[in-house]
Amino acid sequence: MIGAPLLEVKGLEVAYGHVSAVRGLTLEVHDGEIVALLGSNGAGKTSSLRGITGLIPPRAGRVTFAGRRLETAGPGTAVAEGMAHVPEGRRIFRDLSVADNLALGAWGRGRSEEPQRTQMVFDMFPRLAERRRQRAGSLSGGEQQMLAVGRALMSGPRLLLIDELSLGLSPLVTDELLADLVKLNREGLAIVLIEQFVHRALDVASRVYLLAKGQLAWVGTPAEAVRTGAVEAAYLHGGSR
């Protein structure tokens, strides 16, 4: 691949007290890519994203985003530089309206562009527009995930990191959301996708990183992943410790 990567992670280590969750992760995301981050439960996918975005300060390693070192900068900086995170479990504000949840996503970056971005999100997800005054907690699971993605888009990111897109959603709703992400990607947004429906992730990804037991087990294209059986191996042998 030509040119400097948009995101470059080298030797990332993430730990919770004495529990090591990610060891020596190296990963790159280039402009225009959808990168799938896969691995069985407990493999370290969520912890990797937390380390990359600075939600958890990494124990070691380097995170360079758009040429800027982030590993000691904290999550506010990651958002300001153009990285947005859709966390596992969505973490929307259930008691706030759809519109207020979106407005919170514009905090810290581009508040002046809030009206245009809100319109962009509503154009992308008309169901959110129809429900803009509704309490977020009363939305369906799929609509809540749209809201979580929409809120992340409010910061005008160059890279979206999505943790467990389909958690609790039907296959149909998952496919709809994936189609929306592919559209965003074609419009220039780079994406890191954690997704339990592995084959759906392989369908949309340009490259795949497989984690097992906190370490990088395999990197390659989706076609190679299928051909070599790498995915099955990581899920069979890479389970929780």
Ligand X SMILES: Nc1ncnc2c1ncn2[C@@H]1O[C@H](COP(=O)(O)OP(=O)(O)O)[C@@H](O)[C@H]1O
Record the tokens describing residue 112, joined without a space. Answer: 């002046």
Amino acid symbol at 223:
A
Q: How far is the CB of 209 from ligand X (least distance, A)?
A: 12
Is the Cβ of residue 45 or residue 85 nearer to Mg ion in the bound state?
45
User: Residue 98: CB partners within 8 Å, gap ≥ 6?
Assistant: 128, 131, 132, 133, 134, 136, 139, 147
Report what 176 binds from ligand X, Mg ion, none; CB cut-off 5-8 Å by kind: none
The rounded distance, in Å, linking the Cα atoms of 17 and 69 is 24
Q: How far is the CB of 241 from ligand X (least distance, A)?
A: 6
Q: How far is the CB of 80 from ligand X (least distance, A)?
A: 25
Report what 87 binds from ligand X, Mg ion, none; CB cut-off 5-8 Å by kind: none
Is the Cβ of residue 74 or residue 126 nearer to ligand X in the bound state?
74
Report what 107 binds from Mg ion, ligand X, none; CB cut-off 5-8 Å by kind: none
Q: How far is the CB of 113 from Mg ion (least distance, A)?
A: 31
How many other CB atoms are there within 10 angstroms of residue 237's CB atom?
11
Report what 21 binds from Mg ion, ligand X, none; CB cut-off 5-8 Å by kind: ligand X
The strand order across the sheet containing 215-220 reads 83-86, 159-163, 190-194, 34-38, 207-212, 215-220
Amino acid symbol at 1:
M
Is the Cβ of residue 45 or residue 131 nearer to ligand X in the bound state?
45
Q: How far is the CB of 167 from Mg ion (least distance, A)?
A: 9
Which residues in this chain contact ligand X in the complex, by CB under 6 A?
16, 19, 21, 39, 41-47, 241
Q: Is the dihedral of CA 191, 176, 154, 189 positive or negative?
A: positive
